[in-house]
Amino acid sequence: MNLPASIVQVLKDAEQRLAHRPKLLRLFTNCFPNTLQTTTKLLDDGTTFVFTGDIPAMWLRDSVEQVRHYIPFAKDDPELQRILEGLIRRQMFYINIDPYTNAFNEEANGRHYNDGDQSGMTPWMWERKYELDSLCFPVQLAHMYWKATDRTDIFDTACYQALSSIVDVMITEQRHMEKSPYRFVRPGFKETETLQNEGLGMPVNYTGMTWSAFRPSDDACLFGYNIPSNMFAVVVLGHIREIAETVFKDSGLAAKADKLRGEIDFGIRTYGTVNHPRHGTIYAYETDGFGNHCLMDDAGTPGLLSIPYFGYAGTDDPIYRNTRRFALSKDNPFYFEGKYAKGIGSPHTPGGYVWHMALSMQALTADSEQEVKELIDMLVNTDADTGFMHEGFHPDDPADFSREWFAWSNSLFAMLIYQSMEKGWV
């Protein structure tokens, strides 16, 4: 598609502002428009389908992060408004089909990641992994877009139905073992691709938090309460409360969202922290409410590193600062170091791989100009001369990487570079 005028202007400005760094300029001019140029389809019904890159499906989570860096330019750009509003409508349409699904087809064509999944698949579903964060991202996109543009056309009947459904599902999954209809079994795959206990997942205790089957990396949760995803739910339930009160004039939905928000936040504060012997009080990555905790961080968003990015706490929050030190140390089992890079990876990719997204997120949540500059240099020097970001890569050999075409990673990098340009840090 032709790029919206505001995006063209950003690229023109970058030619001057990054002229002193030719490789960085090349990366930025490739990555900033990448979603619009390669993964965005304007559909005849007025919606927008944004697929993830080398996979032809649209993830609720990824599609938000692929366009998030465009929101600041939408207020006076009708072309960009058409794209973003169309995406929000498509996301609400999908949630109304099934709020437990993470990735959808463009149409009901019956394509699936794995035809053997036992999870109640329909022709619309690429795969049906229930990921709490997948319900959070579309709400945050709608809220951010509203605040940036003052436009309320997106808040239609379908949006209201989706927001109501999101709240109801989160309430159901507060008591997953007793009330949830959701099951997921993927026979013959590694443990991170299926749920134990005949698809129900391992037992969890009531905490006030809400259960998730899978992490933002699409890997199965070890324990059912993913702390970063519950933090994100606290944030977006605040958004739902505001939208319900201000736009839909529905005090009932607002009160329901607010009550749930308080219960989840109580659960995080009561069950979601651990006293680490080296780092002090930190947030756990997951817990089951029975006293078991998973201490790690993953490159996906929401993660512990990205807490300020999605809005649960600031970079000056003492527990976040402790948690950040933990996540960026070898006490985190998915923190890796090599000749060219050091940072957070994921069990989703081969052992030892660092993720470009994690490096971008580390910089976006840093409060030190020096740390940001060092991370930008690390990102620039590990693209394997492709001109784009990737998923995971070996820190001793950046040419050994996964996913040559991964738009989310490109978008997050582009956001970092634009914000750094605005601060005069590049």
Question: What is the predicted pLDDT for the residue at 1?
Answer: 79
- Rounded CA gap, 132 and 7, in Å? 31
The answer to whether 223 and 287 are in contact (CB under 8 A) is: yes
- Rounded CA gap, 134 and 3, in Å? 27
Nearest partner of 407 among 58, 131, 102, 83, judged by Cα: 58
pLDDT in tens, 305-355: 999 999 999 999 999 999 999 999 999 999 999 999 999 999 988 889 999
Q: What angle do CA 206, 103, 346 make, to 5 degrees?
A: 70
Q: What angle do CA 172, 120, 54 make, to 5 degrees?
A: 105
Tokens of 38: 């390669």
Three-state SS at 341: coil
Record: fold of 5-423: Glycosyltransferase (1.50.10)
pTM over 0.95: yes
- Rounded CA gap, 407 and 45, in Å? 24
**With b meaning 16 or more CB within 10 Å and e meaning fewer, what string describes 215-236?**
bbbbbbbbbbbbbbbbbbbbbb
**pLDDT tens series, the chain, 426 aa:** 799 999 999 999 999 999 999 999 999 999 999 999 999 999 999 999 999 988 999 999 999 999 999 999 999 999 999 999 999 999 999 999 999 999 999 999 999 999 999 999 999 999 999 999 999 999 999 999 999 999 999 999 999 999 999 999 999 999 999 999 999 999 998 889 999 999 999 999 999 999 999 999 999 999 999 999 999 999 999 999 999 999 999 999 999 999 999 999 999 999 999 999 999 999 999 999 999 999 999 999 999 999 999 999 999 999 999 999 999 999 999 999 999 999 999 998 888 999 999 999 999 999 999 999 999 999 999 999 999 999 999 999 999 999 898 999 999 999 999 999 999 999
**Residues whose CB is less than 8 angstroms from the CB of residue 298 and which lie 6 or more positions away in sequence, other chains included:** 215, 216, 217, 219, 285, 334, 344, 346, 347, 348
Question: What is the predicted pLDDT for the residue at 418?
Answer: 98
- Rounded CA gap, 88 and 138, in Å? 7
